[in-house]
Amino acid sequence: MAEIDLDDIERRMGGALEALGREFAGLRTGRASTGLLEPITVDAYGSQMPMNQVGTISVPEPRMLSVQVWDRGLIKAVEKAILESSLGLNPQTEGATVRIPIPDLSEERRGELSKVAGKYAEQARVAVRNIRRDGMDRLKKMEKDGDLSQDDQHLYGDEIQSLTDAHIKKIDESLQVKEREIMQV
């Protein structure tokens, strides 16, 4: 008799939450953080590479980030990636170092960042719902194939739904915390 792997479903839903945490780390709140640049990818050596794989990201001052680019040939690509990100940052190059001042957040910019945070949260919710749908489809197929009784299908279905509800609740709580952080002056 086939078994449904609830641990795997929970692990995958947890992965969606972790991804959301990384996305939120990239949303700036007025303070410099290396997490701000980590989601940005740089066009390097014919492929997209994470920022931390082309240089060292550091926080020399509370309102300043710097990227020590390892290959001088990639400085322009790093600048371009930062400019094209939705973070509204203006990099300045000094030799092999790209300095990124973190400007004060205007009320309008705070609103924009709040919307971006909401979009990230919705993507995480959709990911969790897709995992739920996969699990439910698998249950239906197992019941149809005779590998699972109707009662067991309902029990597992309820467990998958409660996992989904718990993860969506965590996503909503993370969003509230991030929005408060963004709106804090």
Strand partners, 97: 68, 94
pLDDT single digits (tens) 163-175: 999 999 999 999 9
- The helices-and-strands tally (H runs, E runs) of the chain is 4, 6
The 3-state DSSP class for residue 43 equals strand
Domains and CATH numbers, the chain: 6-23+106-183 (1.10.132.20), 31-101 (3.30.1360.40)
Neighbours of 27 (CB within 10 A): 21
**Average pLDDT of the segment spanning 66-95:** 88
- What's the pLDDT tens digit per position in 53-64? 999 999 888 888
Is residue 182 very low, low, confident or very high in pLDDT (cuts 50, 70, 90)?
A: confident
pLDDT at position 133: 96
